[in-house]
Amino acid sequence: MMEPVFHFELDCDVPVPDGTEELLLRCARCCMRAEGVTLACGAYLRFTDDENIHQLNREYRQVDRATDVLSFPSAPFTPRQTAGLAPQLLHREWDSDLRVCMLGDIVISMDHVRSQAAEYGHSVTRELAYLTVHALFHLMGYDHMNDKDKEQMRAMEEKALNAAGISRVSDDELIAKAKEAMQFSYSPYSKYKVGACLLAADGRLFTGCNIENASYGATNCAERTALFKAVSEGAREFVAIAIAAEKSLPWPCGICRQALNEFAPTLRVIVACGDERDEMNLQELLPHSFGPSTGTGDYLGKD
Catalytic residues: 223
CB atoms within 10 A of CB 242: 30
Please state, in angstroms and rounded to a whole number, the distance separating the CA atoms of residues 32 and 194: 34
Question: Hey, is 176 helix, strand or coil?
Answer: helix
95 strand-pairing partners:
100
CB 68 within 8 A of CB 47: no
Question: Hey, is 55 helix, strand or coil?
Answer: helix
Beta-strand (E) ranges in the chain? Answer: 6-12, 41-48, 69-73, 94-95, 100-109, 194-200, 205-209, 238-245, 268-273, 276-281
* H-run or E-run covering 228: helix 222-232
Please state, in angstroms and rounded to a whole number, the distance separating the CA atoms of residues 179 and 16: 37
CB atoms within 10 A of CB 60: 11
Please state, in angstroms and rounded to a whole number, the distance separating the CA atoms of residues 293 and 1: 8
122, 158, 162, 288 from 115: Cα distances, Å: 11, 21, 23, 45
Phi, psi of 77 (to 5 degrees): -70, 160
